[in-house]
Every structure is written in C-alpha cells, then in structure tokens.
Amino acid sequence: MKMLTKAPALLFGLAAALIAAIGGLSLAIPKPPDTITITTGGERGLYYRFGTQLAEELAKDRINLKVLPSAGSAENLVRLNDRQQKIDLALLQGGVGTPTANPAISALASVFDEQIWIFYRRQSFKEPPTQIAQLKNKRVSISVPGSGTRVLGMQLLELSGLMAEGENKSLEILDMDARESLKSMLEKTLDAAFLVAAPQTPIISEYLANPELGLMQLVHADALALRLPFLKITGLPRGSIQLAQDLPRADMKLLAATATLVVHEDIHPALITPILKAADAALKKMQLLQPEGEFPSALGFSWPHSEDAKEYLERGPSFLYRHLPFWGAVWVERAVRLIVPLLVVLLPLINYLPVLIKATVDARLASLYKQLRDLEKRQAEDSTVQWQRELEALEKKVLSLRVPKKFTAGLYDLRLHISMVRQRLLDTRTRD
C-alpha cells in the first residue's frame, strides 16, 4: 500500500455519497409539472372566463393550464377531491363545502365577488316581492345540480321557511341554468330564478333590460348575511353595468358570495407564486366591477390558507421570482434546497476528515513500529536472525509511503529509529 492515508478513498466515498444524496433529494424535491388543470364553471360564465384568462397569463411562464368547464362549484369540489381526475385548481363559491369534510383542500386567494340575483316575472306577483318567503307556491329555478347557485339557493329557501323537497314542499323547483330560466320566464312557465354571478356577466344585462322581469330587493339582506357568514352586502350604483342602457335603473343593495381559488394539497408549492401572479394579472385584464386592488385577497373564505399563498399576498414574490424567469427561479430554488441539507451533513464530516487522516497515519506508523520492535526482540533472542534484509525491507516501506506534509515528521522519526536500531545491531555483532 503506497498511500498511507485513506484520504483519497474517503474523498471518493464522500463524492459518491454526495451524488447519491443529490439523486435522493432530487426525488424528494421533484421539479414542478409544466401542465396543471383547473375546473371552473359553465362556458358562458365568469368562472370559465377567469380560467381562460388565467391560462393565458400562466402561458407566459411556460405553464400549460387546462381549463375544464363544469356545472359549478359543487361539481368542482367533487372533482378536486377525486384524485383519479388529477385536478389541481378549482373555483369555489362561498358556502360550498367545509374544511372539515375536505381536509386536503386549501385556499390560495379570494378572486372576486358574485352577487345573488333573484329575478321574478312581474305578472306572477301582485306586488314586487321583497322576501324570499313570498316565493311560496311558485315555480322557481335555482340553477342545475352540481352548481354553487343550487347549494346557496337551497340554503336561502330553507332559512326563509320554504321546503323545496319532500311531501311538505312549498314550491316547485325546476332544474335550469340562467339561459333556460330566462327563456322559461318569458314563456310564462317559470315565476322566479336565482342567479349567482358578477354584474358584468352578459346574461345579467339581458335580465335587467327586460321590462317583464324585476329584481328582488331583499328587506332581509342584512339578516341573511348575519345568518350565513360567507355572504356580505354589496352596493351596485345605478348605470354601473351599462351606462348607455342605464342598467341597473336604480341603486341596488345585493347579497354577494366570494369566489375563491383553491388547490389540492398535492400541488407543487413552487406553482403557487406563478398562479397568484397570473391571477392578479388576469383580474386586471377582466376589469370587473370591484375596487382596484381588492382582489386577489386573503379574506373572504373559510378554507385553510396555503402558507405559500399567504406569504405571497403579504410580501409579494420572493427575490428569486422577482429577478428570474419562473423556471430559472425554480432550478435555483431546487438547488438551494438540495445543497443546504447536504452541507448540514457534509460539513461535520469534512471537519472530521483531518482527525480521521491523523488516526489513519498514527495507526500505520504504529504498525511499522511494531514490526521494528518485533525484529529487535527476535534478534535479541536469537543472534543468528538475518535482520539486515528485514530492516532494509522495513525502511523501503517507510520511504515509499506518502503522507500530508504536516505528518512527515512522524516518518522521519521512524526512519531515525530504524537507523538507531541498525547501528545498535551492528555494534552488537562487532562485539560478538
């Protein structure tokens, strides 16, 4: 063995361990996917429009967002929980689902308000209705199964003492979307319709512009918002939807639910920043009737708030995401996450390496000293021992060894001791 120390072998071992650790951590910290999926709402609605605008913004970061239409929030919740469908994002209306029943779901941000519109056919009522209870014995649409509107509509009817199902039902519920409801009301086969939509949704203008229809102004709006904490009161000034047509034709006080962008816990955390950045840009381009800067917001939902989303909304994007393209920031962030744990493990080992080398050198020198002592002992017991050849072989071993400079003193000491032994043995042979 020409190398006294095991340092090269140790360094090789550390390098192998480093490569193995990087491979293991790469699996533990995977690269975020470049394709994700969101479930939205009807293709004519605001949820779907937001989804398509979000996809357009994410494409700038080379992230492909698949936008799926749906019946609404209730179906979105089912899809997000069904991992076979591999949905990453969803839009949920306030009041749909609970954190207890859906522990794998967390919120990124609330994105816009959706007003609750209860339109009625004027000829179906002697006086303009102002209470939901006045819908008793009427034919009412609360959208289609799977929609958030239907979930909220059932809650409002129940609070108002109306039974929509069972033997004691007090009104007839018809499954219709907004477009079908408008057609049926004009055909006089429907008396009222519940809609949950933002003011700029095109179908809302069609309802407001039709003289045969009226919009219920609820006298119990404040009470309903108190009973259902996910609701709030919003004002809609006259003419704010369409100035040219003066829609609405009076100041309106409406209940509203907040739409929230939620994710499944399986989503890669690195995607949170570009999603929220894209959501902010999408909302600005959509130009909704809401105060500038109000959304995306950390308020207005009961879902647990994603820690990454909370930090983004409070402080904005991190240094890396502010100064690098998304995928560049991802790779740097992954490198940091890989290197830091490795340094925590490797630095103590590197600090211990000199101690390990010294111990190896000392052990090797001790072995050679033992051979020298054994030779002296055998010669003392038997003067005929051919010590010269063994001593020369031992000295050659010492001369062939390589050690770090700080350990060369030990080698010179050993060579000196070999010379001393040789001289003593020569002197003894001369006397004999």
Residue 290 pLDDT more than 70?
yes
Q: What is this structure's pTM?
A: 0.70
Amino acid at 282: A
Q: How far is CA 223 from the centre of its chain?
A: 37
Per the prediction, the chain carries an average pLDDT of: 85
**pLDDT at position 113, please?**
94
CA 2 to the chain's CA centroid: 55
- The residue that leads in pLDDT, 183 or 294, is 183
What is the identity of the amino acid at 353? L
**CA atoms 53, 153, 119, 240: torsion sign:** negative
Q: What percent of the chain has pLDDT over 90?
A: 56
Please report, as a single letter, which amino acid is at residue 179.
Answer: R
3-state secondary structure of 69: coil
pLDDT computed for residue 402 by the predictor: 79
CA-based torsion, 56, 58, 64, 65: positive or negative? negative
Q: What residues does 39 pair with on adjacent strands?
A: 68, 90
36 CB burial (10 A radius; 0-12, 13-18, 19+): buried
CA distance 202 to 242: 11
In the chain, the domains with their CATH numbers are 35-317 (3.40.190.290), 353-431 (no CATH)
Q: Write down the number of H helices and E strands in the chain.
A: 13, 10
* Residue 208 CB coordination number (10 Å): 21
Strand spans (E) along 122-209: 139-141, 172-174, 192-197
What's the pLDDT tens digit per position in 176-229?
999 999 999 999 999 999 999 999 888 999 999 999 999 999 999 999 999 999
Specify burial of residue 103 (Cβ count, 10 A radius: 0-12, 13-18, 19+). Answer: exposed
Judge whether residue 76 has pLDDT over 80.
Answer: yes
Strands 64-68 and 35-39: parallel
Over residues 351-375, the pLDDT tens digits come to 777 777 777 878 888 888 888 788 7
Instruction: For tokens 């209870």, name the residue.
Output: 133
pLDDT tens by residue, 144-177 = 999 999 999 999 999 999 987 766 688 999 999 9
Rg (the chain; Cα; Å): 40
Query: 323 falls in which pLDDT band (50, 70, 90)?
Result: very low
Q: Cα separations (Å) of 57 from 276, 277, 366?
A: 10, 8, 71
User: Which letter does DSSP use for residue 133 in this model?
Assistant: G
DSSP 188-254: TS-SEEEEEE-TT-HHHHHHHH-TTEEE---TTHHHHHHHSTTEEEEEE-TTSSBTTTTBSSS-EEE
Least Cα distance to 290 among 138, 159, 415, 115 occurs for: 115
Amino acid symbol at 428: T
Please state, in angstroms and rounded to a whole number, the distance separating the CA atoms of residues 26 and 381. 65
Among the listed residues 391, 389, 396, the one whose alpha carbon sits nearest the alpha carbon of residue 424:
391
